Each structure stands twice: as structure tokens, then as C-alpha cells.
Structure 1
Amino acid sequence: MRATLTDERFSDPDWIFERKLDGERVLVFRQGKRVRLLSRNKKLLNNTYPELVDAYRKQPNGNFIVDGEVVAFQGRISSFSRLQGRMKITDPEEARKSRIAIYHYLFDLLFLDGHDTTRLPLRDRKKLLRKVIKFTGPLRFSAHCSEKGEKFYKEACKAGLEGLIAKNVDGEYVHSRSRDWLKFKCVNEQEVVIGGYTDPKGSRVGFGALLVGYYKGKRLKYAGMVGTGYDDELLRDLGKKLRKIEKGDPPLKTEGRDPGKNMKDSKQARNPKFEWSKRQLWCRFRDLNFGHLDLFRISIFGFRIFRQQ
């Protein structure tokens, strides 16, 4: 089940409000002592989070499916960039030795001892979840605030959190996006296409800046160069990915603007420092806003690749 982004902010006794955590969505399937951790894309994650496998094997109840978010913290705030250090690990022994502690925050129960619970209202699923799971070690219950969504939202934003997920307490669990779950975001996110990159200068590794665009109808328009917000590990890893992609003509439609403003139709788009990719990577930047002429004003503190075209 996925939440729908909304600009609405409301308070309602028939809704609960949970913190929006910045992590990886993980479903847990337990049958007897057999445990499987699956990502939203059905990737097996047992070797990445072996401590969670151990914790679920020790649970007193037998067969269940639970839904939650795996997170790592930077201080009191969940940090996706910190979690990425664990997401790359596929060796369970290496994962156990990692200094990046992870936690699984559970917010829903889909199946229990032969019974499909998705048709139950959320309020009942939450009650069952608290009874079924023994919350110790890395297993945490995703707490919520009832009714006072607007107040909780202001507090969450003031504390530097991503926002809230508002949930209808009478809603069923569906395997799609739903308006029974609504996303209240404190920061702006924009999905963009990586059309190319610049080479690194000086001591910088991987790449200098990403050349990104967005679709306006069927046209891919240039939106700006993004050169901040990356650590060295991400620069190296993403730089390797970009260099494996076949080079091509500038894919970003520009209306004749120059680099730093626009790309494709300008002479400077042929500048050798710009490397253009035939295949497109999509990514999501946080706190990325459109400025003058549809170009980006950028203040980046989070980045992730989430699909490839």
C-alpha cells in the first residue's frame, strides 16, 4: 500500500498521523522459523539485514506478514544517505560487523496464522500488530498521533522530519496507491532524469555535476546542473554507473539556453566537458525547487536513484 501525496493538512478523529521515515520499505514474511525480508520490488534482503532475520525468528508467534520501514539514524532524524551504507551490503557477516545500526519500524499487519487481515480496518490491524509482535532490539512499533494532524505536522517539520503519513482508521490495506493513506511532506521532492554529467575537477571523484531534466508532456526539458549534496562514496558509485552507459547526443530539450541555464540547442552543449547519456537514469532530489524559467534552485540534502529507462 502506498500513500498519495497531498497539499491538504487537516485534523480528523477518524485519522491517525505517523512520522514519515526516510528509509527502505520492507515486508516480512514469517512461516514457522522461516523468515523472508522483501523490498517493495520483491528483492530478498535477508543478507542485508541479518539482525532483522534473527529478531523475527525469535518472535513467539508463528505465521505473519508485516509491513514497515527500515531506517538508520543520524542523531534523532532518519537518514536515507546513512542507510545506503547498509543497503549496498549483501554479505550477512559484513552486515553484522557494520557500524550502521538499523531498525524496522512496523506499521501494519497483512496476515496472521492463516487469516488475511487486509480487509480489517486499520484500527484493528494496529491493535493486532501490537499483540503479535514483541517489540525488542531492532523491532519498533511506528507510533502515531490521533486526530490532531495539523499540530503534529507543524511539530514534525520544526523537528526536521520529512513529514507525516495520515491514515484513515477505517481503511483496508490495498496493494496499490490509496487516498486512505496521505503524505504530508515538509520538504519538496522532485523526480528528474539524469541526461548527462560533467567530469570531476581537482580532488573530486566520480563526476562533477549531474545534468538533469524533467518531462513536460512528452518533451524532456533541461532543468539545471546539480553539483552538491553527494558524499565521496556516492560520487564514486554513481560515477561508475554513468561511465558504463553508452554516450549519445544531448537528450534534454532546451529552447536555446546555454549550459547552467539550458542545453540541447546551444553550442556549449557540445562542450567536451559535458558527457551525455543515451540511457536515462531517474532519480529523486529532496528540497529541489523550480526557479526562474523552470530551472532549479537547489538545496540538496538527499539523493537516490530509483529507476532506469
Structure 2
Amino acid sequence: MDLPVMPPLEPMLAKAATNVPGEAGVWSYEPKWDGFRALVFRDGDDVVLQSRSGKELGRYFPELVESLRDELAPRCVLDGEVVVPREVDGRIRLDWESLSQRIHPAESRVTMLAEQTPAHFIGFDALATADRPLLGEPFRVRREALRELVTEKTWCHVTRTTEDPQLGTQWLTTFEGAGLDGVIAKRLDGRYLPGKREMVKVKHKRDADCVAIGYRVHKSGEGVGSILLGLYDEGGQLQMIGGAASFSVKDRIKLLAELEPLRDGDARDGDPSRWNSAADKRWIPVRPERVAEVAYDQMEGNGHSGRRFRHAVKFLRWRPDREPASCTFAQLDVPLNYDLSDVLES
């Protein structure tokens, strides 16, 4: 492979915001796809499908590698998302569960799932075309290149965009029914900066990807009562930031089967509960190898080491496509700074 932009390459990232930026003529808006982020490098028959963390995804999606050969320009580098669409109630939606099951070590299962739940690629940026690198070009130029580089659109697609901030805001709700995840805003004159949070993402609700660092046994003695969560600070230290709870009986047992093999030592004492002094706060540490996506409402505290989820958070799903080391405080919505007098009547 000999391309002007070569793997491995860190994808450009997004910073969370609560509102869609509204300066007309400054931003391009597009749906936020709910799949596995992937960079595609194609040089003739050689295709590399690289995950966000730099791993090769091609072995898990052999049918998609063939589609990329068939439907992309002969030499190009694209940024996009791997998704699995399925029909639900008469409509085509993205199916995260089917997608996550595609990451499996057994070749026979990979082959079976490639037939049963084939993947699509959604392109949303172009990083190189033929011998020309595009990283330093403004997004409006890269966008036009992207449309030319996806030559067929059966399994490979180009995401929809708009420069209308009102329409971009509408997409937060109108596209949610298709299984999408929010809206991404990119500066029309912005360069592609690998590893930098230069895009803006607005999601339907706040969420975060956290490292599972331990669990508490449910008060019944059966299964997991809560999962303890952590994020890495700027110094690379893993800080506990709260926990996810309120699981069904079935999920408590399932989570215990998933976390028990990662157990990393004896039970530890936890902070006493403010509401129930008799509650057992001991917890079981686990190796920091699994990433959980959680929904939350607010953070409290100042500084990375002192910030925590204000309330118990909701466990959404495991993220097999994320590396624990990538779960940092930088992904969180920046809290507003205000004084009490600012929110009281004078």
C-alpha cells in the first residue's frame, strides 16, 4: 500500500455541546451515525479498515471489505462509520446490537454473521484521493471529493449534510427515529486535524464512555447491583466518577458473568452512603478492560480528580470498539460557570 495518507491514523474527534452552533455560512451539519468509527484506506485491491483505536476491523467485516473494493475509487482514504441497518416495524433503522455482535474471535461465526447481518459504510469525510492528500484542505473541498470517491452506493454511502443551522437543529429529532445519535457540526473552512476535538457533537442526551473498574454485589446476593465507573485524567490516572445501577434480575446475573472473570483482587471498602448508613458499600475491583456507554444528567465537583456524576447513571451498552485508555474527561460536556446571584431575581 502506497497512499499519501497511510495507516495507522487517528481520526479527528468531536467535543460535546448542548446546542447546535448557529452561525450561518460557518458550519456544515450532518447526522451523527451510531456505529463503529472507521477509516478506510484503499490502494487497488489492498484495503485497510481501521478502527478509531487503530485496530484492523477488516477481519470482522469481510463482506464490507469486498464492497469497499467494488464501490470506492481505486486509491483513496475516507473517514466514516460502519453500521448494520435492519428492518424494524416496517422501517430501516440502525441496529447496534447486531453490529456489536460482529466483533467475534471465531472465524465461522464471522462468516455466518457476514451473511445474516451485512454491514454498510457511511462516508463523511475524505482524507486523500489518488496521490493527493486532503488533510490540509477545508472541509467544503473534502466534502466534494468524498462525493466523487464513492462511485457506487449499494453498500457504501455518503452522509447527508446541510449548511442551514435551523435544519441541522431539526435533525436532532427528525433523524432520531432512524436510530441515529444526534448532529455533528464541522467548520466549512476547517482542516482535518487527526486526534483533535475540532468537530462539535450534539446528542439527544448526555452520555459518556467510561471504564468499568469494579462492581458491587446486589443486596439480594444475586448478581451485580452496580457497576463502578472511571475516567482517565490528564496525567493518565484512572479516577472513579460514580456508578451505574438499577438492573433487572436477568441483567444482574448476566453482568456478573461478564465481570467476574475480570476480578482483580479482594473486595474493597467504599464510601458510606449518605442515605443508608447500613448499606454495604464494599466493591469488587476488576481489570480496566471493558468500556461502558452510560447516560447521565449532571456532573458535580471541580477539577478532573474531583468531578463525579451527580446521580447514579444509566448503563446503555458495552462498547467493544472503544479502548479503555481513550475514556478521558475530555469527552464530557464542559460545565457552565456561574454564581448563584446570576440565577436569582435581584
Superposition TM-score, scaled by structure 1 size:
0.78
Q: Report the alpha carbon displacement of residue 53 of structure 1 after superposing the two structures with TM.
A: 1.1
Q: 1:64 to 1:78 in 2, by over 3 A?
A: same
C-alpha distance in 2, partners of 1:178/1:231? 38
- 2:226 aligned to 210, 224, 227, which one? 210
Query: 8 Å contact 2:84–2:94 — kept in the other structure?
Result: yes
Matches within 5 A, 1:125-144: 125-144=142-161
Deviation, 1:50, is: 0.8
- Aligned match of 1:189: 207
Q: The residue matched to 1:56 in structure 2 has which SS?
A: helix
**Structure 1: how far apart are the matches of 2:181 and 2:226?**
24
Q: Which runs of 4+ in 1 moved over 6 A?
A: 215-219, 229-232
1:3-82 equivalences under 5 Å are 3-11=14-22, 12-59=24-71, 61-73=73-85, 75=88, 76-82=92-98
Query: Is the Cα contact below 8 Å between 1:192 and 1:212 reproduced in 2?
Result: no
Q: Is the 8 A contact 1:55 1:139 kept in 2?
A: yes
Offset at 1:81? Answer: 2.9
Gaps of 5+ in 1: none
Contact 2:104/2:110 (8 A) holds in 1: no
Match of 2:104 among 73, 82, 88: 88
The 5 A counterparts of 1:212-291 are 212-214=228-230, 220=239, 223-228=242-247, 235=254, 239-250=257-268, 254=271, 256-257=272-273, 268-270=280-282, 276-277=284-285, 279-281=287-289, 283-290=291-298
Q: State which drifts further: 218-227 or 128-137.
A: 218-227
Aligned residues: CA RMSD: 3.7
Residue of structure 1 in register with 2:163 after alignment? 146
Structure 2 gap segments, 5+ residues each: 1-11, 301-307, 326-346
Structure 1 residue 249: deviation in Å?
4.1
Question: CA 1:64 to 1:230, structure 2 compared with 1: closer, same or farther past 3 Å?
Answer: farther
Structure 2 residue identity aligned to 1:100: T
AA matched with 1:190: A
Residues 127 and 216 from structure 1, CA distance in 2 versus in 1: closer, same or farther, beyond 3 angstroms? Answer: closer
Determine the C-alpha separation between the residues in 2 that align with 1:14 and 1:281. Answer: 40
- Asked if the contact 2:264/2:285 (under 8 Å) is kept, the reply is yes
Q: Which amino acid aligns with 1:182?
A: V
Aligned equivalents of 1:118 and 1:46: distance in 2?
A: 24
Identity percentage of aligned residues:
22
Determine helix, strand or coil for the equivalent of 1:143. coil
Q: Which moved more, 1:287-296 or 1:117-126?
A: 287-296
Alpha-carbon offset, residue 82 of structure 1:
2.7
Distance apart, 1:101 and its partner CA? 2.9
Separation of aligned partners in 1, 2:192 and 2:46: 24
Measured in 2, the distance between the counterparts of 1:187 and 1:116 equals 36
User: SS at the partner of 1:129?
Assistant: helix
Deviates most, 287-296 or 32-41: 287-296
Which digits, 9 at most, give the CA deviation of each residue in 1:172-209, with x for residues without a partner? Answer: 11112233x1101112213444343355899x8xx434
Higher fraction of strand:
1
Q: If the length of structure 2 is used for normalisation, what is the TM-score?
A: 0.71
